[in-house]
Amino acid sequence: MLSPIESICQSASSLSDVQIHILKNSEKLLQFASDLSHRKIYVYVPGQEQDTLVLAAQRRPFFQGTSSLAELPSSGVIVTRYDEPLVWQVLMTGNPIKGMIETNYGQMEPISCYPFVDNGGLAIGVISFVGRIEKSRDILTETAFLSLQVPIEEPMNRLYQRLSLQDGIILIDGNGTIRYADDMAESIMQLRGRFRSLPGENIYSSQLHFAGVKQVLETRQGSVEDVQHGNNVFTRRIIPILRRGRVDRVIVVITERTELYQKEEELMIKTSVIKEIHHRVKNNLQTIAGLLRMQLRRVQSEEAKEALSESLNRIISISLVHETLSHHDEEYINVSDVAEKLLSLVLHSLVSTESHIRSVFHGQELMLPSDAATSLSLVLNELITNAVLHGLAGRKEGVVTLQIGCHGETAGIVVEDNGCGMPETMTKDKRHHLGLKIISTLVEKDLHGTITFLRADPEGTRAVIHFPIEKRGD
């Protein structure tokens, strides 16, 4: 699938496929560059028609709310050289330029335009930064552009995450001298015991711990790590900017995240406790199942054996859910994994060694919260049990099929056998009626769904369940 910049450039620009690919490599970094510069970003490329430009992308910095989103022109808009004379001049000359631009009914704002060049040094686009900033932040605009021109591939996702008001920015040149530090960075460094102004200091002569930056200057590889200083925890992103094969400057993004770290630690403890609870519940259920198996071997009545066997399988189905949850960090599980195990266990429990009844499973991933997964497991246990004990009763061969699928926001479950089919008088059996009552109650009350029993083709019974999939966070 084409990215937005690729799609616009291919349909409306005069760029080659190779040039479009070069431009596309920096698309994911546009938001970071806008946040770093505190300015709106516009990416222009040459249009297919003579003397035209195409707006390929635009971004606004984090502190500008989405309420003013309509002020930004839409990507794909075609303008002439006369509409954007400064952009056109940069595209033609390949030289950066600064000036003023009218943005809205006579409102003038500063603009800084930079040529975006291909591997041969030819300008294939123009990156323009628009908006008023403090004079001291001018160096951030140039740095933001350079980060786009020579992106670092790994680990891109964490290095170039969106910035926020909690992030402090420090710029260090290739010789290790700090050229810029914003107020947030100064405040965070004070938490680490530094009370002098940072700009002008050299990391090789400073008493501060800048080992991470020194390593990046040496290896030219970015890094992201958590650093602990006393009771405080910081996340430090170090991004090298390369020019002609050497590190020209380094962007350090430092974030004080002590409170967030503590909350994450608390959450990890709670998650571990919950997983341990699920593990103990599973063990207790398996103990009960073991006691029922002992009782099964002692009773003589066939009716009692069947009742105990049904209870045993119901307990096993609940135990499977808790076993799965004990290995997951979330309270959502893929019920297809549970259902496949349940199908195998129930058939192994109910089918004699002389019979050749096999199972067929087809399942998509279906993530459900633990309570819904437990209810569905009980329903599937009842349906599979009915298929074996009633649909395939007295048969030496047969097939029980279980299908799990998703259709938009609705789950579809099918349990089918190729047995004798569902007789009209089947609900008169009190114990069988109990199983159907359990099924209908769980499907309608717990899953808020429906169940339909149909005659399978060419023979047998087909149970079809539909219920809405609960969205995470609902």
Considering the domain architecture, whether residues 196 and 232 belong to the same structural domain is answered as yes
Tell me how far apart the alpha carbons of residues 103 and 119 are, in angstroms, rounded to a whole number: 33
Tell me how far apart the alpha carbons of residues 224 and 220 are, in angstroms, rounded to a whole number: 13
Q: Which two tokens stand for residue 192?
A: 């680490």
Identify the pLDDT of residue 425.
Answer: 46
Residue among 254, 251, 255, 96 at smallest CA distance from 173: 251
Identify the pLDDT of residue 264.
Answer: 61
Residue 91, exposed/middle/buried by CB under 10 A (0-12, 13-18, 19+)?
Answer: buried
Looking at residues 169-192, what average pLDDT do you find? 88
Residue among 78, 73, 87, 85 at smallest CA distance from 8: 78
Residue at 61 is within a domain = yes
Residue 222 sits in a domain whose CATH number is 3.30.450.20
* Three-class DSSP category at 263: helix
Considering the domain architecture, whether residues 138 and 227 belong to the same structural domain is answered as no
Contacts of 233 (CB under 8 A, 6+ apart): 226, 227, 256, 257, 258, 261
Considering the domain architecture, whether residues 454 and 327 belong to the same structural domain is answered as yes
Do residues 355 and 393 make contact, with C-beta atoms less than 8 angstroms apart?
no
Arithmetic mean of pLDDT over the chain: 84
Tell me the CA end-to-end span of the chain in Å, nearest whole number. Answer: 30
Residue at 473 is within a domain = no
Task: Choose the final residue of a domain: 102, 122, 150.
Answer: 150
Residue at 474 is within a domain = no
Residue at 13 is within a domain = yes
Considering the domain architecture, whether residues 164 and 50 belong to the same structural domain is answered as no
Considering the domain architecture, whether residues 303 and 250 belong to the same structural domain is answered as no
Looking at residues 27-37, what average pLDDT do you find? 92
Which residue has tokens 């000359």? Answer: 93
For residue 92, pLDDT over 90 is answered with: yes
Considering the domain architecture, whether residues 455 and 344 belong to the same structural domain is answered as yes
Q: How far is CA 294 from the centre of its chain?
A: 47
| Tally of domains in the chain | 3
Considering the domain architecture, whether residues 428 and 457 belong to the same structural domain is answered as yes
**Which of the given ranges, 96-100, 242-246, 252-256, has the highest pLDDT on average?**
96-100
Residue 8 sits in a domain whose CATH number is 3.30.450.40
The number of C-alpha atoms within 13 Å of 35 and in the hemisphere containing its C-beta is 18
**Which of the given ranges, 128-142, 220-234, 420-434, has the highest pLDDT on average?**
128-142
Identify the pLDDT of residue 196.
Answer: 78
Higher model confidence: residue 34 or residue 166?
Answer: 34
Task: Choose the final residue of a domain: 150, 175, 198.
Answer: 150
Residue at 53 is within a domain = yes
The confidence band for 156, taking pLDDT boundaries of 50, 70 and 90, is low
Task: Choose the final residue of a domain: 117, 150, 183.
Answer: 150
Considering the domain architecture, whether residues 361 and 458 belong to the same structural domain is answered as yes
Residue 341 sits in a domain whose CATH number is 3.30.565.10
Tell me how far apart the alpha carbons of residues 310 and 306 are, in angstroms, rounded to a whole number: 6
Residue 242, exposed/middle/buried by CB under 10 A (0-12, 13-18, 19+)?
Answer: middle
The percent of residues in the chain predicted with pLDDT above 90, rounded, is 36
Dihedral angle, C-alpha 389, 394, 395, 399, nearest 10 °? -10
Q: Which two tokens stand for residue 398?
A: 């047969």
For residue 431, pLDDT over 70 is answered with: no
Least confident window among 216-220, 277-281, 440-444, 470-474: 470-474
For residue 5, what are the domain limits?
1-150
Considering the domain architecture, whether residues 275 and 222 belong to the same structural domain is answered as no
Residue at 317 is within a domain = yes
Considering the domain architecture, whether residues 144 and 159 belong to the same structural domain is answered as no
For residue 236, pLDDT over 60 is answered with: yes
Per-residue pLDDT tens digits for 253-285? 988 876 666 666 666 666 677 677 777 887 888
Residue at 83 is within a domain = yes
